[in-house]
Amino acid sequence: MISVEHLTKCYGDIVAVDDVSFKIDEGHVYGFLGPNGAGKTTIMNIMTGCLSATEGRVLIGGYDIFEEPCQAKKLIGYLPEQPPLYMTDTPLEYLKFVGEAKGLGGSELKEQIDKVIEQTKIENVKNRPISSLSKGYKQRVGIAQALLGNPKVIILDEPTVGLDPIQIVEIRDLIKELGREHTVIFSSHILSEVQAICDQVLIISKGKLVAFDQPENLEKLLLAPNEIIITTDARDKEIRDILAKINHIVDFTIKEEGAYTKAQIKTDHKDVYEVSRQIFLGFAEKNKTLLEMALKKTDLEDIFIELTEKSNSNEATESEGIKQ
Amino acid sequence: MIAVLKHELKTYFHSLATYVFGALLLAFVGIGSVLYNIQAAVSNFEFVLSFGSLIFVIIVPILTMRVLAEERKQKTDQLLYSLPITASQVILGKYIALLLIYLIPLSLICFYPLIFSRFGEVYLLTAYGSILAFFVMGSALISIGVFISSLTENQGFAAGIGIAIILFNYYSVRISEYVSSTAIGSVIAMLLLILVLGTIIRYLTKNNYLAYGVSGLLGAGILIVYLVDSTKLEGLLPAIMRKLSLFERFNAFVNGVFDMTAIVYYLTVIVFFLFLSVQSLEKRRYN
């Protein structure tokens, strides 16, 4: 559906997007994840024709966004970071304008407007000036605008920023719902959000695409070991003896807290349960009680930090290399 | 384009600037008619328009300052870029909307000569000829205003620059009598103008070589002409200032001549500045 090839964008000497390539298929929800200033907005602006690229190209349904912008743009609905609303219009007037600009007219336009108003639940404010609406409603009007013309791809740039928790949940539900009929691409710097609604995650850091996979696969990808946290009434030395007999333990820390001792055990075994079973049996053998055992699986947050920090440290070594 | 046009018109009717524009134009032309046609009992309506044209200095920037600057400030230009319409359609839609807004007070003014003709002999042909020219000249000024608005996101700045440029254009003929008419004076002035042109080219295209190339060629041309035959450059600067003045050309109509070259000149100015506005809008995607 969308194919981005070797996209590069420079502002003078600053490289905002650095040789990014990916393909997006129909009918999934894609999440762009990255810290602030990573280049998410720049990539989205280029994909929607709001910005030119220094190099590379973007194909939307086979149309090049730079060569055949009108055909390509008909396939996309875009909500920029700041909803592009005319404050003096009412939502109804605004949607009418956008619909007409997208080439709709007559009864088709009316039907479409009614449909998106229902989808985004803005029926009760549709005749009030946009300037008087709350941020959540403004965001909805922005999304409604993107939905007009029934585009195949909907691109939303940080759609939940600045909303209250209830509105965030509502917008997320809306995105999930849209994912059934459209291809949805949205950006966020909130991990739990991406984890909750995306089928595919693209992690972007410093203008580079550092990972592109399903959230579950990304977790598997991670090389960092899993952690087991135990609380026991055994003492420091006894725990060391027990753990020494168990394979696949990379590292552990022990902390005595009054009558109890807490230990954090890191393992690189593929099956964490196998290790926890051995720990349990080891303690049982010594006749010591395990009061608590918890598994801490690495989640997307760890992957995110690791991947973005990795690209940071790479850069650091590179620049050091240049200095030398 | 139609969608942009309809939307712009709707916005104008919600905007105070539109009413100020119409009211000031009608007030100025009204005062002119009282002074010339009623008190002085002159039967030529053209003089009224010549008098009224001064108000363009204020009202054109008031009308055009927000047309693109506001889009940029509110970030609604991103919507326009992402919609399946071209920059030319956006500019044309907005420009035609402005012309329609301008036509409303002007259509009221069209009744004045008819009213006066009931009380005496009025030269209707020259009256309506000059009203048409008045419309085309105003349209040319509006196209300049649109271009200035496309350069900035600050409405006040757009209005200020607009007033300065139109005022300079209004007085340029009078100023031209005081500027140096020697050959060397013309060369210096031409080189300065070429520098300004080069800066605009560089701003619009972000292409240093093109800007340097064009400025270099033009500059070299001027210098060669100066070295070969410096008499050709004498009086060039005042002549250019007179030629560029939009208001000066309107005087032909006031004198009862329907000057086709003036109309062609106005239309050229309109096309030129609308083209520049489209380029300016397109350029923003490339920065």
- ipTM for this model: 0.85
- The residue range of the domain holding B220 is 182-234
Residue that is last in its domain, among B194, B211, B234:
B234
Are residues B127 and B216 both part of a single domain?
no
- What pLDDT is stored for residue A128 in this prediction? 93
Most confident of A119-128, A209-218, A256-265, A309-318: A119-128
A128 within 8 A of A78, measured Cβ to Cβ? no
Question: Is B16's Cβ below 8 Å from some Cβ in A?
Answer: no
Q: Which of B278, B267, B285 is nearest to B94 (CA)?
A: B278
- What pLDDT is stored for residue A314 in this prediction? 58
- What pLDDT is stored for residue B99 in this prediction? 96
Nearest-neighbour CA in chain B from A85: distance (Å): 6
Are residues B96 and B79 both part of a single domain?
yes
Q: Which of A226, A245, A236, A246 is nearest to A294 (CA)?
A: A226
Are residues B25 and B166 both part of a single domain?
yes
Q: Name the residue of chain A whose CA is nearest to B287's CA.
A: A11
The pLDDT of B261-272, averaged and rounded, is 94
Structural domain count of chain B: 2
- Structure confidence by residue, pLDDT tens digits, B246-266: 888 898 888 888 889 999 999
- What pLDDT is stored for residue A180 in this prediction? 87
B133 within 8 A of B250, measured Cβ to Cβ? yes
Are residues B132 and B14 both part of a single domain?
yes
Nearest-neighbour CA in chain A from B157: distance (Å): 21
3-state helix/strand/coil string of chain A: CEEEEEEEEEECCEEEEEEEEEEECCCCEEEEECCCCCCHHHHHHHHCCCCCCCEEEEEECCEECCCCHHHHHHCEEEECCCCCCCCCCCHHHHHHHHHHHCCCCHHHHHHHHHHHHHHHCCHHHCCCCHHHCCHHHHHHHHHHHHHCCCCCEEEECCCCCCCCHHHHHHHHHHHHHHHHHCEEEEEECCHHHHHHHCCEEEEEECCEEEEEECHHHHHHHCCCCEEEEEEECCCHHHHHHHHHCCCCEEEEEEEEECCEEEEEEEECCCCHHHHHHHHHHHHHHCCCCEEEEEEECCCHHHHHHHHHHHHHHHHHHHHHHHHC
Q: Which of B222, B22, B33 is nearest to B138 (CA)?
A: B22
pLDDT over 60 at A101, yes or no? yes
Contact B11 A78 (CB under 8 A): no
Are residues B96 and B204 both part of a single domain?
no
**Chain A: which residues have CB within 8 Å of chain B?**
11, 45, 48-52, 69-71, 73-74, 76, 78, 80, 82, 84-89, 93, 97-98, 100-103, 145
pLDDT over 60 at A141, yes or no? yes
The reply to whether B141 falls in a domain is yes
pLDDT over 80 at B89, yes or no? yes
pLDDT class of A160 with cuts at 50, 70, 90: confident
The pLDDT of B152-169, averaged and rounded, is 92
d(CA A20, CA A14): 15
- What pLDDT is stored for residue A313 in this prediction? 62
Q: Taking all residues of chain B, what is their mean pLDDT, rounded to a whole number? A: 89
- Structure confidence by residue, pLDDT tens digits, B188-215: 888 888 898 888 888 777 777 888 888 8
Nearby residues of A310 by Cβ (< 8 Å), 6 or more positions away: A210
The reply to whether B240 falls in a domain is no
**Residue carrying structure tokens 């909303």:** A163
User: Which H or E element spans position B238?
Assistant: helix B236-244
Domains in chain A, please, with CATH? Answer: 2-214 (3.40.50.300), 226-296 (3.30.70.260)
- Structure confidence by residue, pLDDT tens digits, A8-30: 988 878 888 888 999 998 888 99
Are residues B230 and B250 both part of a single domain?
no
**Residue carrying structure tokens 């939009």:** B246
- What pLDDT is stored for residue A322 in this prediction? 42
pLDDT class of A153 with cuts at 50, 70, 90: very high
The reply to whether B118 falls in a domain is yes
Amino acid, single-letter form, for residue B127 = A
Interface test with B, best of A78, A100, A150 (most B CBs within 10 A): A100
The reply to whether B210 falls in a domain is yes
Measured between alpha carbons, how far is residue A191 from residues A38, A139, A187 in Å? 15, 20, 10
Are residues B120 and B39 both part of a single domain?
yes
d(CA B169, CA B148): 15
B93 within 8 A of B283, measured Cβ to Cβ? no
Give chain B positions within 8 Å (CB) of A102: 83-84
- Structure confidence by residue, pLDDT tens digits, B31-45: 999 998 888 888 888
pLDDT class of A311 with cuts at 50, 70, 90: low
The reply to whether B127 falls in a domain is yes
Three-class SS of residue B145? helix
Are residues B20 and B93 both part of a single domain?
yes
pLDDT over 50 at B232, yes or no? yes
The reply to whether B162 falls in a domain is yes
Question: Is B39's Cβ below 8 Å from some Cβ in A?
Answer: no
Three-class SS of residue B11? helix
A297 within 8 A of A246, measured Cβ to Cβ? no
DSSP state of B255: T
Query: Among A52, A80, A102, whose Cβ lies nearest the Cβ of B84?
Result: A102
- What pLDDT is stored for residue A324 in this prediction? 39
Are residues B63 and B139 both part of a single domain?
yes
Amino acid, single-letter form, for residue A261 = T
Give chain A positions within 8 Å (CB) of B78: 45, 50, 78, 80, 82, 84
Are residues B136 and B115 both part of a single domain?
yes
- What pLDDT is stored for residue B57 in this prediction? 93
Are residues B169 and B188 both part of a single domain?
no
Q: Name the residue of chain B whose CA is nearest to A102's CA.
A: B84
Are residues B216 and B106 both part of a single domain?
no
Q: Which two tokens stand for residue A316?
A: 């650091």
Contact B82 A78 (CB under 8 A): yes
- CA distance from start to end of chain B: 25
User: Which H or E element spans position B153?
Assistant: none
